[in-house]
Amino acid sequence: MLIKTRESNKSVAIEINGQVYYRTAETCSRAGISRATLFRWLKAGILRETHRDRRGWRMFTEKDLDLIREEAETVKVEYVGKARDDE
């Protein structure tokens, strides 16, 4: 098994046998979501569980990252409450 760490502009990717993986913080940063959102989506089954390293830390592929970005784009923001015009 070949493991390399790829660093560029403070981002860290890990390459294992030719497959690039990102850790949770890097994945969230690249997808533009918070860690809490990512974990909530995983817990709710919106996203499937992903790979883990020997320590149990999650590792995400570029394909996983694309799915997370896709989900982030489908989120709808709705105003809940009384509109100012209703006052």
Give per-residue pLDDT as tens, 49-58: 889 999 999 9
pLDDT in tens, 18-28: 899 999 999 99
In the chain the first and final C-alpha atoms are separated, in Å, by 65
pLDDT in tens, 29-77: 999 999 999 999 999 999 998 899 999 999 999 999 999 999 999 866 6
Residue whose pair of structure tokens reads 């394909």 in the numeric block: 63
Overall pTM surpassing 0.85 (yes/no): no
- Which domains are delineated in the chain? 3-77 (1.10.1660.10)
Looking only at the bridges linking them, the beta strands covering 51-52 and 19-23 are unpaired
Answer whether 31's CB lies under 8 Å from 68's CB: yes
